[in-house]
Amino acid sequence: MADRKILVVEDHKDTRELLKYNLTHNGFEVAAESDGASGLERAKTFQPDLILLDLMLPGMDGLDVCRRVKQSSELSHIPVIMLTAKGEEIDRIVGLELGADDYVVKPFSPRELILRIKAIMRRSADKPSKTPNVWERDGLSIDFEAHQLTVDGEPAMLTATEFKLLTELVTGRGKVQTRDHLLDTVWDTHFEGYSRTVDTHVRRLRQKLGPYAEWVETVRGVGYRFRA
């Protein structure tokens, strides 16, 4: 895990320094910014392996930063952990629906946070198992190593989470994937009561699949299945 890069975007100086200290002592290279606009620009130049993003930031807030990261072709692959004092359910749901990979509520345990960071980085580095490098059918092509979806010859821009979801559905095609299973495998954790974030990501994935959207079938009351 040494030399992996983390960008901290946090406006509270003491929290920012605490994060920098703990991350550095765990072998990470750390860059830090105190506002959203600066954090977004630093992400482009620093190209971190993960972003720790506070929600309540001056100017551009954390949700807006997350949205722009996940819409950017050069940044969308970077995992994001939302770090905030706001613990209400709606804030967690919004963060996850924007593409955040995890959500940690302050006050937090630095040890637990480090474990979550390592789990997300490990998951991001994993290659899809028991799959070919490229899967193709009709006008749909998925390059698992390049993390690239092509629809009728045109590349479709997926966030890292959307691509993980697509990979899970395609590699398990023909089988029903429950929402709980998808939360556990795609997000690498279980968000109690947040199954609606799976529905949101599936809806966005279908939009990007275009004419092949119907290949992701809804199994009412259970979950989803990619047509075999």
CATH number of 134-226: 1.10.10.10
Q: What is the Cα–Cα distance from 35 to 12, expressed in whole angstroms?
A: 10
Q: Is the pLDDT of residue 1 over 50?
A: no
Contact present, 82 and 95 (Cβ < 8 Å): yes
Q: What is the Cα–Cα distance from 74 to 221, expressed in whole angstroms?
A: 37
Q: What is the Cα–Cα distance from 208 to 201, expressed in whole angstroms?
A: 11
Note the pLDDT tens digit of each residue in 46-64. 999 999 999 889 999 999 9
The number of residues making up the chain comes to: 228
Interhelix angle 89-97/62-71, nearest 10 degrees: 20
* pLDDT tier, 221 (very low <50, low <70, confident <90, very high otherwise): confident
CATH class of this structure's domain 5-125: alpha beta
Average pLDDT over the chain, rounded to whole?
Answer: 86
Note the pLDDT tens digit of each residue in 148-204. 899 999 999 888 888 889 999 999 898 999 988 888 888 766 555 567 788 889 999
C-beta neighbour count of 114 within 10 angstroms = 17
To the nearest whole percent, how much of the chain has pLDDT over 90?
A: 48
Residue 9, both tokens? 């975007």
Q: Is the pLDDT of residue 128 over 50?
A: no
Q: In this predicted structure, what is the pLDDT of residue 194?
A: 62
Q: In this predicted structure, what is the pLDDT of residue 188?
A: 63
Beta bridge partners of 42: none
Domain ranges of the chain: 5-125, 134-226
